[in-house]
Amino acid sequence: MNVARVFAKAKPASLGWGLAVDQNPNGVQLGHALLALIAITGNLDVPGGVTIGPPASLMGKWRMESRSWLSDELWSKRIGAEKYPAVSTALATTHPDETLNTLETGKPYQLKMGWFNSSNFLSPTNSAQPDRWYEALKKLEFNVVQDTFMTPTAMALADIFLPLPTFAEHDGVVLTHYGRNAVFAGAMNKALTVGETKSDLEVCFELGKRLNPEAWPWETVSEFFSEQLEPDLGFGFEELRKKGLWQPGYTYKKYEKGLLRFDGEPGFNTVTGLVELNSTLFESWGDDALPYHQEPPYSVYSTPELAQEYPLTLTTGARKYTSFHSEHRQIKTLREIDPNPELELHPETAKELGIIDGDWVVVENMFGKARFVAKVTETIHPKVVHATHGWWFPEKEAEEPSLFGVWESNVNTLMPHDHTGKLGFGDTFKSILCKVYKEA
């Protein structure tokens, strides 16, 4: 309450959130509460407040219009659409947990093929229970992996491996897209060609023209980006290539000018046209229309009997400048800076467990376990430990069962399957019970 009062009295004021909000089953409701607080205090789309982007800007229109190329029959087959209408409607995608269920059971239909584009899926970055995904994905008849390096995912699953070019080897656009706010758009200018690599967009052109040529009329990357960028920038990709970087001006209080709704009317892009403290959509999707708190499914409060065996709370997902998720582990200079997966724990906790800084330790709970190097630090709560994520070891055996040691420090093996919020979002990556002990 004190923090809320400080925020309410500050003019202007802004709030931001990251994975600690998103990656818990109550994240949607927490986000709703934060946005309500922003709106109530008059800090929405004003200078120094929280800004809002238009409904379709800089590539957004193309993504939304691509839905029109799917028949109603095909659209209705999205896995998890009936159980989680919020996910299937708001994101126009399948639900990950339901997809794993389908892979394992063959219901409601058998999946035949997987395509992994720039995603080291089996590393402790993408999915809870990666060992289950590994076994399930091996059942597919055909898998394609696109990446710049050989990864555990490529070694485990790829029937065909398509090498992607680095940033210096293809044309593209770097685009910030926070809440549809484009802070800038920058050009990636192809400088050289190595081997026969093609960018992911060029691969999509070829595949799209074979599957549905009418939906993929573009012949070049420049042509595609020009069509998407010109309505907002007033110029195409070749001009952006020359400029290098484009930064837009900003219009505040867009809700007064009809700039937030597709119909051009004043207001917000909601069912009522208002800032909905009482959400019409949440209620229609079967959830409470107002924000609420829900304790994590496994905690010292919701499962006190489990907490007796697993007394610590594990969080994961913090970033390090030496890597982006599972990327860059194979770069020698970066590994010299950050050679090992780490587990942060408080000095009091370490002393109680007989652990000193630099010890190899095991983090374990009812779902799995993984090994890390202890990093003793005052900056963490005594009842909380933090594990780095995205670890694999390119220096280790590539072939199965090792897969570059991807299972050794895979923190996602400690995360349970199918523990989202009621709307299908969030998970337990920021709050799961565990115990820690020194490796024998």
Examine the pLDDT at 115 and tell me if it is beyond 90: yes
In this structure, the number of other CB atoms found within 10 A of the CB of residue 308 comes to 10
What pLDDT is stored for residue 277 in this prediction?
Answer: 95
Task: Provide the mean pLDDT of the chain.
Answer: 92
Q: What is the pTM of this model?
A: 0.92
Residue 125 has pLDDT above 80, yes or no: no
pLDDT at residue 72 tops 70: yes
pLDDT at 238 > cutoff 90: yes
pLDDT of 62 above 90: no
- Please give the share of the chain, as a percent, with pLDDT higher than 90: 75
Q: Please report where in the chains the tokens 């867009």 appear, as a residue.
A: 254
pLDDT at residue 399, rounded to an integer: 96
Angle between helices 27-40 and 2-9 (to 10 degrees): 40
Give the model's confidence band at 124: pLDDT under 50 very low, under 70 low, under 90 confident, else very high: confident
Of 156, 122, 134, 22, the C-alpha closest to 412 is 122
| pLDDT (average), residues 43-65 | 80
Q: How far apart are the first and last CA of the chain?
A: 46
CA distance 47 to 387: 38
pLDDT band at 184 (very low <50, low <70, confident <90, very high): confident
| Model confidence band, residue 123 (pLDDT cutoffs 50, 70, 90) | confident
Q: Examine the pLDDT at 413 and tell me if it is beyond 80.
A: yes
* Per-residue pLDDT tens over the stretch 85-112: 999 888 878 999 999 999 999 999 999 9
Burial 55-92 (b: 16+ CB within 10 A, else e): ebbbbbeeeeeeeeeeeeeeeeebbbbeebbbbbeeee
Is residue 257 over pLDDT 90? yes
Is the pLDDT reported for residue 196 higher than 80?
yes
pLDDT band at 217 (very low <50, low <70, confident <90, very high): very high
Is residue 1's pLDDT more than 70?
no
The pLDDT score that the predictor gives to residue 231 is: 85
